[in-house]
Amino acid sequence: MKRIYLVLIPLAALLFSCESDTPAPAVKLTVGGLHMRDVVLQDKDIPVVFDVIADRPVNEDTHILLSVNGETTAKLNKHFRIEKSTLWIGKGNSKTYGKLIILQENFADGDAQKIRIDMSSSDAVFADTSYIVCNITMGAIRSPRPEYCLPESNWGMYAGINGFEFAGINNAVLTADAADYYGNSAVVNYSDIRGEAVKGETYSYKLTPDWWKTGDGDIYEIVFFIDWNRDGRFDGKDELILRQDMDKAAAANPLTGEITIPADASVGLTGIRVGFFAKPDTDIDNGGCGYIDSGEFEDYTLFISDPE
């Protein structure tokens, strides 16, 4: 069988044959599936995944070479690294995955960079674009999550949160579990568990209370706060998302709803606090920091970003 050689130059492919005027059809590749094209750095390295798809199964391994072209402002191995410089679609397969790792360590506040990765292949021709572009920015997003006040309690934890889902957060842990727990009511720090939300977008939530050691006639209260203005308190406009009295008859029913992220919410890392506790004699509207009888609060982190 006569060999066919393909050479890819930027945005165009030149087909030639050393031994035949009638070349066999080339495998065509499409670059797609790029996740996080516009990357906003927080406080850790971020993988950026893309795929290269062949228009049909291949007879032999098809190699794709990745290279950084002159339009790139980010520096390889300083701002990012290429996980593998050579990708291949194995025999019979139609897709392969590539990955960049964005390295947050060498970015300064307000820094912005662009990565362009060009692709070439000696085994195939690209159907359309032969490159991917990733824009990276660093800014107020790196400002730390504010510190928060704590509720006060003189009683043990007789009930708690057994599940919280919102904007990518999915945590189902009852702190007290099956053991007897009669210490002070807990504020459990899950701030390393982060959700992500975009201003103006709507997200659903689900709060599942656990009645654990409560009495049949006890009235409890469930609350949900988000610190939209990132001032380290939960007492700003519309920051009390949910407040509802509950009794044990409703124990099997989680509370669900939707939240639209305010257009004027402050961009960056902010706090979420959810709580389930015995209904207090005094109000706990003062930022989730008042006195409670018994129960549990859980703190999470939400990353709020501007729309693209």
CATH code where residue 25 lies: 2.60.40.1740
Tokens of 157: 């934890």
153 domain residue, yes or no: no
Tell me the residue range of the domain where 277 lies.
Answer: 160-305
Angle (nearest 5°) at CA 259 between 230 and 245: 95
Residues 179 and 125 in one domain: no
66 domain residue, yes or no: yes
Instruction: Report how far apart, in Å, the C-alpha atoms of 128 and of each of 12, 28, 73 are.
Output: 9, 9, 24
- Alpha-carbon distance of 114 to 133, in angstroms, equals 7
201 domain residue, yes or no: yes
Say what the pLDDT of residue 24 is: 47
- Alpha-carbon distance of 278 to 291, in angstroms, equals 11
Residues 242 and 207 in one domain: yes
Tell the burial category of 260 from Cβ atoms under 10 Å away from its Cβ (0-12, 13-18, 19+): exposed
**DSSP conformation letters of 145-178:** PPP----B-SSB---EEEEEEETTEEE---TTTT
Last residue of some domain: 80, 112, 140?
140
Say what the pLDDT of residue 197 is: 92
Residues 100 and 218 in one domain: no
What is the band of 13 on the pLDDT scale with cuts at 50, 70, 90?
very low
**Choice among 154-158, 211-215, 255-259 with the minimum mean pLDDT:** 154-158
Number of compact structural domains in the chain: 2
70 domain residue, yes or no: yes
Residues 290 and 220 in one domain: yes
The listed range with the strongest mean pLDDT (57-61, 237-241, 257-261, 279-283) is 257-261
Residues 185 and 300 in one domain: yes
Residues, the chain: 308
Residues 88 and 10 in one domain: yes
- Alpha-carbon distance of 137 to 41, in angstroms, equals 6
**Choice among 126-135, 167-176, 222-231 with the minimum mean pLDDT:** 167-176
Residue 22, C-beta contacts closer than 8 angstroms, at least 6 positions apart = none
Q: How far is CA 54 from the centre of its chain?
A: 29
CATH code where residue 204 lies: 2.60.40.2950
150 domain residue, yes or no: no
Say what the pLDDT of residue 200 is: 95
CB 162 within 8 A of CB 288: no
